[in-house]
Amino acid sequence: MKHLADCFIPIYLVNVNEIKNDMEPINSELHKLVRSHFPSLNEPKLVEEISKAGQLMHAKAGTVMMDYGRYITMVPLVISGSIKVVREGNDGGHEIFLYFLKGGETCSMSFSCCMASKKSDIRTIAEDDVTFIGLPIKLVDEWMMKYKSWNRFVMSAYDNRMLDLVEVIDNIVFNNMEERLKNYLIARSEALNSKILLGTHQQIALDLNSSREGVSRILKKFEKSGAIILGRNRIELNT
């Protein structure tokens, strides 16, 4: 198992220097990607602006894309792959899993951070190889007033995340590990678009701020009830 530190690449720090203006040509590839993956952004001028100012970027699986305390310079529009968003517990040390970002989504945390030009409160890690469009935060702010569809897009991003977070809180408050683990498996399966999840019980326990034994026991229970099939480093979800 690869350690995160080994593949740390501060991709948000790459290409920060050139925020070019209207002289920039329209990138037709970006134009196409926005239209196919973000149909709700339906104002032609907005799509045009995104294609001019955005940059197509990649992150390999395991890359820490954003970390606590770093300033956010770009807002990502996720094209493909998925990004795990986690938060460090108050007491330090432990991390808890919040949600996954998938294609067609964006990071709502980055909006709140960039508007107040604050440091990040969260850490994001590429769960698999990720492709996304990086948008300079300066424009993101401008567009809020200029484009209705952008405004709606940002708002609904907040809304969707809110629902995820409420679920997380619910499950923590009620100390319901079974629910939490179930949700986690489903979320991860959907994010990766695969019924087969690779990784150790220990990793899952870290994500959920639980213990390896606890996770193993619940997984075993799920297996007995026929919901999943277990293997070493492998969990297969049944439908």
Partner DNA sequence: ACATTAAGTGATT
Partner DNA sequence: AATCACTTAATGT
Give CA 171 to chain center in angstroms.
20
- Report the residue number, 25 or 231, with the smaller CB distance to DNA: 231
End-to-end CA distance of the chain: 28
Nearer to DNA, 144 or 230 (CB): 230
Phi–psi pair at 223, nearest 5 degrees? -65, -40
Which lies closer to DNA via its Cβ, residue 103 or residue 214? Answer: 214
Nearer to DNA by Cβ, of 39 and 89: the residue is 89
In the complex, least distance from residue 54 CB atom to DNA, rounded to whole angstroms: 38
Per CB under 7 A, the list member of 1, 5, 23, 173 interacting with DNA is 1
CA atoms within 13 A on the CB side of 164: 21
Q: Cα(85)–Cα(66) distance, rounded to whole angstroms?
A: 9
Shortest Å, Cβ 175 to DNA: 5
The minimum distance between CB 32 and DNA, in angstroms, equals 40
Give the integer Cα–Cα distance in Å for 161 and 163: 5
Q: Are 64 and 125 in contact (CB under 8 A)?
A: yes
Which is nearer to DNA, 32 or 217 (by Cβ)? 217
Residues 162-221 that bind DNA (CB under 7 A): 175-178, 200-202, 209-214, 216-220
Q: Which of 151, 194, 233, 238 binds DNA (CB under 7 A)?
A: 233
Name which of 155, 72, 63 is nearest 108 in CA terms: 155
Q: Toward DNA, which CB reaches closer, 30 or 218?
A: 218
Task: Give, as one character, the DSSP assignment of residue 45.
Answer: H
Binding of DNA by 60 (CB under 7 A): no
Site string for DNA, 21-50 (x = CB under 7 A): ------------------------------
β-bridge partners, 59: 130
Strands 130-136 and 74-80, bridge-based pairing = antiparallel
Q: Rule CB under 7 A: which residues touch DNA?
A: 1, 175-178, 200-202, 209-214, 216-220, 230-234
